[in-house]
Amino acid sequence: MIDFFKKPLFSDFRFIFAVYFVLTLFASVRIVFWEGSNNYSIFYYSLEHLINNQSLYAEYPQQYSDHYHYAPTFAALFSPIFALPYSVGLFLWHFLFTGVWVYAIYKLPLTHQQKVFAYWFGVQELFTSLVNSQTNPMIAALSVFAFLSFEKKQPFWAAFFIMLGFNVKIYSLVAAGLFILYPQKLKFLASMVLWTIVLAVLPLLFATPAELYHQYELWVTQLMIKSDGDIWANTSIHRLIHLSISPTVPTAAIIGVGVVIFCTTYLRTSRYREYTYRILMLASVLIFQVIFNPVAESPTYITAITGVVCWWVVSPRTTLDRVLLISCFVLTVLSPTDIFPPYLRKTFVLPYALKALPCVLIWFRIVWLMLLPAPPTVTDQSVHLQPGHGGTLGTSTAVN
Encode pLDDT of 151-161 as tens digits. Answer: 999 999 999 99
- The reported pLDDT for the residue numbered 227 is 60
What residues have CB less than 8 Å from 169, skipping those under 6 apart? 70, 135, 136, 139
Q: Is residue 246 part of a domain?
A: yes
Neighbours of 245 (CB within 10 A): 10
Q: Is residue 60 part of a domain?
A: no
Report the distance separating Cα 354 and Cα 380, nearest Å. Answer: 41
Residue at 233: amino acid letter: A
pTM of this prediction?
Answer: 0.90
Whether the predicted pLDDT of 400 surpasses 90: no
- The reported pLDDT for the residue numbered 230 is 56
Q: Is residue 291 part of a domain?
A: yes
3 — pLDDT class (breaks 50, 70, 90): low
Q: Is residue 248 part of a domain?
A: yes
Q: Is residue 34 part of a domain?
A: no
- The reported pLDDT for the residue numbered 388 is 38
Q: Is residue 260 part of a domain?
A: yes
Whether the predicted pLDDT of 321 surpasses 90: yes
Chain mean pLDDT for the chain: 90
- The reported pLDDT for the residue numbered 38 is 92
Whether the predicted pLDDT of 387 surpasses 50: no
Q: Is residue 289 part of a domain?
A: yes
Pair 280, 134: CB distance under 8 Å? no
Whether the predicted pLDDT of 385 surpasses 90: no
Structural domain boundaries enclosing 240: 231-372
Query: What is the count of structural domains for the chain?
Result: 1
Q: Is residue 50 part of a domain?
A: no
Q: 235-246 pLDDT, tens per residue? A: 999 999 999 999
